Amino acid sequence: MINIAICDDIIEELEMVSSYVSKNIKDLDIPFKISSFREGQDLIENINSSKQNFDIIFLDIYMKFSNGIDIARRIRDSDKECKIIFITSSKEHAIDSYDVCALYYILKPINEEKLTNAIKIAVESLNKENKQVIIMNKKGNYRIPYKDIIYAESKARVVNIYMKSSEVISFYSKLEDFFQSLKDERFLRCHKSFVVNMDFILKIENSCAFMLNNIIIPITNSKIALIREKYYDYLLK
């Protein structure tokens, strides 16, 4: 279920965006729910009272009693993950939209093709974030989100998964079997003993990948040119 919010103080444009969004999500054959708001404060109050975050938020910038950029900043205080798409009548705040990590910036009058593209990108991003791998060991079964894996290391037939939370989950497997099970372009086999999540690579220098949390992962010397190419291709995407 994708939880969607649309916020615009002009009722005709609110209904138009709702209609476009509903049509596009239905075409993707994904269950969804749309909540509409006439003011930014109403959206904030709903988020605070229901304790249920939205996956995608379509947000006007120029509203009678609030500014969409300010509303987005307040949303980001509690939710770093939701996909914010601004729909507005001016280019003036395009740079400001980067400060709140907006996914897309659409100018009015609304071009349906651009809106369709924004929805597609938002859904693909959500699908990527929601991917999980199931791991079984003596302690039990684990559903591990891909986005929480920094890297995996193989030692003596045991794969250790190092998480963003600093937790380490270990299980018996070949590293190659684990790598193949992921089937996701963000993961890179950079060494016979290591698989890294490229989302957490800060830089590649000499024969090492410098990762989040001051982690340094070796890269096989014979593959350094190929690894660099794959990493740069991933960044460009």
The domain locations on the chain are: 2-130, 132-236
Residue entry with tokens 């400060």 = 99
Token pair 């990527």 is found at 128
Tokens of 148: 């929480």
Q: pTM for this one?
A: 0.72
pLDDT digits (tens, 9 = 90+) for 123-171: 989 988 889 999 999 999 999 999 999 999 999 899 999 999 999 999 9
pLDDT in tens, 96-113: 898 999 999 999 998 889
pLDDT tier for residue 93 given thresholds of 50, 70 and 90: confident
Triad 123, 126, 128: Cα angle to 5°? 110
One DSSP character per residue, 150-183 reads EEEEEETTEEEEEETTS-EEEEE--HHHHHHHH-
- pLDDT at residue number 9: 93
Q: For residue 216, what are the contacts with CB-CB under 8 A and spacing of at least 6?
A: 208, 209, 210
Angle at which helix 68-78 crosses helix 40-50, to 10 degrees, equals 10
Q: What is the pLDDT of residue 90?
A: 85
Q: What is the pLDDT of residue 102?
A: 94
pLDDT given for residue 30 in this prediction:
86
- Does an H or E element contain 27, and which? helix 11-27
pLDDT tens digit string along 26-56?
888 889 999 999 999 999 999 988 877 899 9
pLDDT at 221: 92
pLDDT at 141: 92
pLDDT tens per residue, range 180-231? 999 999 999 999 999 999 999 999 999 999 999 999 999 999 999 999 999 9
**What number of other Cβ atoms are within 10 A of residue 153's Cβ?**
18
Place of tokens 């790598």: 179
Predicted pLDDT at 129: 86
Task: Give the amino acid at 191.
Answer: H
CATH homologous superfamily for 132-236?
LytTr DNA-binding domain (2.40.50.1020)
Q: Which fold has domain 2-130?
A: Rossmann fold (3.40.50)
Helix (H, G, I), strand (E, B) or coil at 226: helix
**Residue, of 71 and 78, whose pLDDT is higher:** 71
Quote the pLDDT of residue 27: 85
* pLDDT computed for residue 51 by the predictor: 72
> Nearest CA to 169 among 198, 134, 200, 196?
134
